Amino acid sequence: MAEELLTKSKIADVLGTNAMRVTRFAERNKINAVKKEGKRELFKLTQFNALKKELEAPEAKQEAQGHGFSKDDYILTLKKQLEDQKAQYEQIIESKEETISSLKETIATSQKSYDDMKDQLAVKDNQITALTKLTNNAQTLNLVDKDPKRIQAAHGDAETKPEQSSSSEKVNNYSTKKPSKKRWWQFGR
């Protein structure tokens, strides 16, 4: 009876290991394929009896279990990695949402501060206007206090009568004196 020819992966399944270990064993022991069908290499199972004995040793079994990855293990590993990445992305999104919320609060606070400053500026402008009026009134009163004759000038009499600083000049120079110039406080009255 002729022995059946197997691929490296079939030999790995029969021996309970992975195809990479079978490939390494074949390369290390210079085992050549008995037959080639296209790209597939076919081997006799008896060519791997030494590998079978290695795998039956207790330390080899532990090593084979440590190196053997099944498709299910690989899928579980990938799922775990995807879950970890999803958790990281959710944390990033949550962090960004917190940042956006914080920025919105900052904008609202800044807007309130801006509105408060506008109100304060309006009050300041009103105060400046009131102080300007008071200052003008104080200057007018001060001028009236210095020269009582200027009361008439404040009432609009300055245009009809020349201003006199003393009574002696009034007597001596009345006919020769030119009318005096209007002063800045007399304009607009």
Q: How far apart are CA 75 and CA 29, in angstroms?
A: 33
Domain-located, residue 188 = no
Inside any domain, residue 134: no
CB-based burial label for 12 (10 Å; 0-12, 13-18, 19+): buried
The sheet with strand 5-6 has its strands ordered as 5-6, 40-44, 35-37
Helix/strand/coil percentages in the chain, nearest 5: 70, 5, 25
* pTM for this model (two decimals): 0.32
Question: Each residue of 66-115: pLDDT tens digit?
Answer: 555 567 777 778 888 888 889 888 989 998 999 999 999 999 999 999 99
Instruction: Kindly state whether residue 36 falls inside one of the protein's structural domains.
Output: yes
pLDDT at position 165: 46
Q: Return the number of other C-beta atoms located less than 10 Å from residue 111's C-beta.
A: 10
Using CA atoms, how far apart are residues 185 and 189, in angstroms rounded to an integer? Answer: 8
CA dihedral 154, 157, 159, 160 (to 10 degrees): -170
Per-position pLDDT tens, the chain of length 189: 567 888 888 988 988 888 898 889 889 888 888 888 888 888 888 888 888 888 777 665 555 555 555 677 777 788 888 888 898 889 899 989 999 999 999 999 999 999 999 999 999 999 999 999 999 988 888 887 777 666 566 666 545 544 444 444 444 445 556 667 778 887 776
What is the number of structural domains in the chain?
1
In the beta sheet, which residues pair with residue 6?
43
In a domain, 34, yes or no: yes
- Structural domain span for residue 46: 5-68
pLDDT at position 76 is 77
Q: Is residue 59 part of a domain?
A: yes
Instruction: Identify whether 103 is part of a domain.
Output: no
pLDDT at 124: 93
Return the ∠ at Cα 70 (arms to 15 and 4), rounded to 5°: 30
Determine the pLDDT at residue 171: 47
Residue 14 lies in a domain: yes
Question: How many C-beta atoms lie closer than 10 Å to residue 45's C-beta?
Answer: 15
pLDDT at 65: 54
Token duo for residue 41: 């290499």
* Kind and range of the H or E run holding 37: strand 35-37
Pairwise CA distance, residues 78 & 72, whole Å: 10
Residue 81 belongs to some domain of the structure: no
